[in-house]
Amino acid sequence: MCSAVFRKFFVICPGKSRRTAATCPNADRYTSIADSHKSSNMVTEEQVRTFLTDHPHVLEDFVLDTVEMEQLERWLIRKSKQGKRLQETSLVDRKTSLSKWKFCVHADKRQMLQNLTHSLQDKPTQDYVLWELASCISSAVKADGFRLYMVDQEVPNQLHLHLGLDHKKNNTPKLQRMKNSVSIPSHVARTQQPVRFSRGLIDARFSENVINELHSEMAHIQCQPIVESDGKLIAVLELWRRESGGAFYEEDEEIAYSYLVWGGIALHYAHLYLNMNQQKSLNDFLLAVVKSIFQDMVSIDSLVIKIMNFAQRLVDADRASLFLVDARNKELYATIFDVGIGDDSTVEIRSHSSNDDEVRVHPSKEIRFPLGTGIAGQVAMTGEILNIKDAYADSRFNRAVDQLTGYTTHTILCMPIYIRGSIIGVVQMVNKHKGYFTKNDEEAFETFAVYCGLALHHAKLYDKIRKSQQKYKVALDVLSYHNTCTEEEFESALRTGIPKDSMGIDDYYFNPFELKDMDKAKYAMFMFNDLFGSGGFDQACLLRFILTVRKNYRRVPYHNWTHGFSVANSMYCIIKQANGAFNKNESLALYVGALCHDLDHRGKNNKFMLDTESPLAAIYSTSTMEHHHFNQAVTILQQEGHNIFSKLTNNDYKQVLGYLKHCILATDLALFFPNKARLGELVQTKTFSWNNSTHRGLIQAIAMTGSDLSANAKPWDIQVKTVEVIFEEFYDQGDAERAAGRMPIPMMDRQQTNQQASSQVGFLTGICIPCYNLLHTLIPETKALLDMCKKNLDKWSQIDEDMKQKK
Ligand SMILES: [Zn+2]
């Protein structure tokens, strides 16, 4: 076919130069044809070229009409090969060779393509694709057999003979390491140039021994490099024929080459796929690590075991150890080490005996050695990753450990773990199950190490938090012991008995100053039982609770137990007189809330707490003290034998605690204004409804404020006495502010006592009267509070007037 084409062509083109002739494989044949037509020489080659350049369709028509497909393909192979050589020197865009390759497959290679595509889809590993590719090429060039040599990516120039795929082991290749002396494949690997060779030929490149390396049937050989798109040699293919098959020619090389072009692309994608798969499994692995490490962070020890297990699985090591850095003593230490595969649940703890001079063993089975000692010590000191292929050949390796354990170390991969730029530990993985630790292992482990660092850092913090929590618990235990009522107080209160009658305590105008502290506690219990009955509540518990509440009021001038009791007393009066306005759970919260509403008050207001950067203000930025009062109340309820609500159902308990918080927080006067505004509007628009829980919350809040301020709604002598102690407390705060270099407001300034009356006028006008007005509107039974407050306002106004006139 080829000759036919040339014959036709050179009928009109006899002036063939030697140069062109040399490029044609059938040069000898066509020159003779050309010679025979010399006589009828009419057109020169130059003329033909010019003609064809000017009339490209003629060439195209001619080629399409006359040239066989197979010939076209060969030209293309040759052309693309030329293109490749060009590319190697001038880095021409790869696109050209790709498009040519694309053209190639139009030929009848569908089966091969299908097979390879299939294998790529199924098992896109490099080994698999290469094996398939090699089989295809072998049959395409009619070879009698082939050998595929894989290039060791870790050891340069090391070849492994591919013995086929192991179907039992997920089609992984069976590989046999080759001696470096295999001449022909080694030569091809080194030069990356193809070689054709026949038995009996003398080739200067190879010694005579080369014949001995060949199988007796191997008479003719063609050996080719398989190179990835980035120029990296990955394998060498050796095709062979028996004597009868004949020698390999350039055409065979070209055929093989055309397959390899396609194969290269397949391999490229196999590689990408593999990388992606590796990345994905690393991601999955890391995700599992993160989950496992952070989900149940129990202790450093359990974390260390987890890290070692993960590390081992990650790089397929036989054993792993983790050493932590003790920066103060410049030592590495481990309490658990040498975790072997499958030790998930039963961790083998091997401690080393102390007769080794470099390894010290502590009674707690902890081993310690100085930084710089052994492989791990080296890594901890330098931060350099060590990947050791033969431990015994490395002078840094400490053989003592092997001698003690009877274990033999071959390969080691040792990596530092960093947190915030400093090395906190070292993970050492020993004996990879197959071969050496690879670059991939190092890279995967480096990512893993970041998570280890974070996890260890967190575990340490967690440990610290747990310890401080324990300390806090101990402190709380001590405190609660001193802050709960003593058994003596309890017994004595029981002995003297709880009052049987009210003694006028159900009067809004009751004078709290009349009662001794202990009697106030007893009356607090009386009021509780009067409101809720003594049946549903453990009486001993109730008494203990009240005595402890009493104890938790500080001895400050105003916000003391007397105030707490007095507010509870006013709330008792409201609940009792406004019979049915509040339900049982609300009433419980209102009464207990009133009793507890100023627990542990320090005689200073919220602003003072904020100004002095008190820890309380740091915890609660708004309603600072009120949050603290509520928390104190809950703390008391939690003390043994103090939970007065223990007999409530779960739901009631939750509801009462919710109300309790709401009620205590409502005593923050800063909340009074918005509460008053909202409730005032509901009243004004006549939209207030006792059936609306939000509305009820508002009236609860106003009832709390009303009770808290009730000293201003008591008869004049009580009001005066209360105002006295209030100002005493105010002045104390003023003094403290002055001492801290701040100017107190006039109301708290000891040097401006003449401000008291006008302060009271302002306070009663701006807060108390509006509060009692609202309360009275919704609960008419509270009229007594409003009335007395008005009377007190009149008196303060009078005093204020008098003082102003005196000036
Ligand atoms: Zn109060």
Helices assigned H by DSSP within 597-692: 606-611, 615-619, 624-638, 650-665, 669-684
Q: Which residue has the higher pLDDT, 172 or 722?
A: 722
Helices assigned H by DSSP within 197-319: 210-213, 250-295, 300-315
User: Does 665 share its domain with 794?
Assistant: yes
What's the 794 CA to ligand 1 centre distance in angstroms? 24
Which pLDDT does position 361 carry in this prediction? Answer: 35
What's the 275 CA to ligand 1 centre distance in angstroms? 70
What's the 670 CA to ligand 1 centre distance in angstroms? 13
Instruction: Look up the CATH number of the domain holding residue 423.
Output: 3.30.450.40
Both structure tokens of 481:
């012991």
- The whole-number average pLDDT for the span 33-60 is 76
For the stretch 625-647, what's the b/e string if a residue is b when 16 or more beta carbons lie within 10 angstroms of its beta carbon?
bbbbbbbbbebbbebeebbbbee
Residue 69 has pLDDT above 90, yes or no: no
User: Does 657 share its domain with 592?
Assistant: yes
Residue 256 has pLDDT above 90, yes or no: no
The dihedrals phi and psi of 515, each to the nearest 5 degrees, come to -95, 145
Which pLDDT does position 694 carry in this prediction? Answer: 95
Per cent of the chain over pLDDT 90 is 34
Least confident of 284-298, 565-579, 737-751: 284-298
Beta bridge partners of 328: none
End-to-end, the C-alpha distance of the chain in Å comes to 134
Q: Which of 67, 93, 121 is the last residue in one of the domains?
A: 67
- 3-class secondary structure, 411: coil
What's the 664 CA to ligand 1 centre distance in angstroms? 9
**Other CB atoms closer than 10 Å to residue 531's CB: what's the count?**
16
Which pLDDT does position 141 carry in this prediction? Answer: 85
Rounded distance between C-alpha atoms, residue 41 and residue 43, angstroms: 6
Residue 284 has pLDDT above 50, yes or no: yes
What's the 601 CA to ligand 1 centre distance in angstroms? 9
- 3-class secondary structure, 331: strand
Q: Domain total for the chain?
A: 4
Which pLDDT does position 123 carry in this prediction? Answer: 62
Which pLDDT does position 799 carry in this prediction? Answer: 94
Beta bridge partners of 370: 331
Rounded distance between C-alpha atoms, residue 582 and residue 478, angstroms: 39
The rounded mean pLDDT for the chain is: 81
Residue 749 lies in a domain: yes
Which pLDDT does position 342 carry in this prediction? Answer: 41
Q: What digits encode the pLDDT tens for the residues 407-438? A: 888 999 999 988 888 888 898 889 998 888 98
Least confident of 18-22, 92-96, 319-323, 364-368: 92-96
Q: Identify which of 141-155, 174-188, 514-528 has the greatest average pLDDT.
A: 514-528
Selecting among 160, 187, 559, 695, the annotated active-site residue is 559
Residue 75 lies in a domain: no
pLDDT bracket for residue 460 (50, 70, 90): confident
What's the 709 CA to ligand 1 centre distance in angstroms? 7
- 3-class secondary structure, 504: coil
CA max distance for the chain: 151
Both structure tokens of 796:
């303060």
Rounded distance between C-alpha atoms, residue 141 and residue 245, angstroms: 10
Q: Are 667 and 562 in contact (CB under 8 A)?
A: no
User: Does 427 share its domain with 521?
Assistant: no
Residue 352 has pLDDT above 90, yes or no: no
Confirm or deny that 760 is annotated as ligand binding. Answer: yes
Rounded distance between C-alpha atoms, residue 613 and residue 622, angstroms: 13
What's the 633 CA to ligand 1 centre distance in angstroms? 14
Per cent of the chain over pLDDT 70 is 83
Which pLDDT does position 677 carry in this prediction? Answer: 95
Q: Which residue has the higher pLDDT, 147 or 22?
A: 147
Which three-class secondary structure string do you get for 291-325?
HHHHHCCCCHHHHHHHHHHHHHHHHCEEEEEEEEE
Q: What digits encode the pLDDT tens for the residues 746-797? A: 889 998 888 889 999 999 999 999 999 999 999 999 999 999 999 999 999 9
Confirm or deny that 597 is annotated as ligand binding. Answer: yes
Least confident of 60-64, 305-309, 353-357: 353-357
User: Does 624 share its domain with 744?
Assistant: yes
Q: Are 375 and 398 in contact (CB under 8 A)?
A: yes
Q: What digits encode the pLDDT tens for the residues 177-226? A: 777 666 788 888 888 888 988 887 777 777 777 777 777 788 899 999 98
Q: What digits encode the pLDDT tens for the residues 105-119? A: 444 456 666 666 666
Which pLDDT does position 169 carry in this prediction? Answer: 66
- Beta strand 317-326 with 339-340: parallel, antiparallel or unpaired? antiparallel
Q: Are 174 and 209 in contact (CB under 8 A)?
A: no
User: Does 754 share its domain with 639?
Assistant: yes
Residue 90 lies in a domain: no
User: Does 63 share its domain with 21?
Assistant: yes
User: Does 607 share its domain with 687?
Assistant: yes
Helices assigned H by DSSP within 398-553: 400-405, 439-483, 487-496, 517-532, 539-551
Rounded distance between C-alpha atoms, residue 130 and residue 116, angstroms: 10
Q: Which residue has the higher pLDDT, 356 or 149?
A: 149
What's the 637 CA to ligand 1 centre distance in angstroms? 20
Cα atoms found within 13 Å of the Cα of residue 323, Cβ hemisphere only: 30
pLDDT bracket for residue 2 (50, 70, 90): very low
User: Does 114 share its domain with 247?
Assistant: yes
Rounded distance between C-alpha atoms, residue 524 and residue 568, angstroms: 8
Residue 475 lies in a domain: no
Residue 83 lies in a domain: no
User: Does 43 share its domain with 171?
Assistant: no
Confirm or deny that 560 is annotated as ligand binding. Answer: yes
Residue 642 lies in a domain: yes
User: Does 753 share its domain with 636?
Assistant: yes
Which pLDDT does position 34 carry in this prediction? Answer: 45
Confirm or deny that 410 is annotated as ligand binding. Answer: no
Burial class of residue 575 (count of CB atoms within 10 Å of its CB; 0-12, 13-18, 19+):
buried
Confirm or deny that 559 is annotated as ligand binding. Answer: yes
Residue 176 lies in a domain: yes
User: Does 430 share its domain with 569?
Assistant: no
Residue 20 has pLDDT above 50, yes or no: no
User: Does 306 share its domain with 266?
Assistant: no
Tokens 């001619």 found at? 62
Which pLDDT does position 208 carry in this prediction? Answer: 72
Q: Identify which of 26-35, 169-178, 226-235, 375-384 has the greatest average pLDDT.
A: 375-384
Which residue range(s) make up the domain with 135? Answer: 109-276
Residue 129 lies in a domain: yes
What's the 605 CA to ligand 1 centre distance in angstroms? 11
Q: Which of 227, 247, 276 is the last residue in one of the domains?
A: 276
Instruction: Look up the CATH number of the domain holding residue 573.
Output: 1.10.1300.10
Burial class of residue 65 (count of CB atoms within 10 Å of its CB; 0-12, 13-18, 19+):
exposed
Tell me the angle at which helices 56-66 and 2-11 cross, rounded to the nearest 10 degrees.
Answer: 140
What's the 532 CA to ligand 1 centre distance in angstroms? 23
The dihedrals phi and psi of 429, each to the nearest 5 degrees, come to -110, 135
Which pLDDT does position 608 carry in this prediction? Answer: 87
- 3-class secondary structure, 556: coil
Confirm or deny that 611 is annotated as ligand binding. Answer: no
Which pLDDT does position 619 carry in this prediction? Answer: 74
Which pLDDT does position 41 carry in this prediction? Answer: 60
- 3-class secondary structure, 368: strand
Rounded distance between C-alpha atoms, residue 119 and residue 125, angstroms: 9
What's the 592 CA to ligand 1 centre distance in angstroms? 13
Active site residue 271: no
Confirm or deny that 628 is annotated as ligand binding. Answer: no
Which pLDDT does position 783 carry in this prediction? Answer: 96
Which pLDDT does position 351 carry in this prediction? Answer: 35
Least confident of 271-285, 427-441, 541-555, 574-588: 271-285
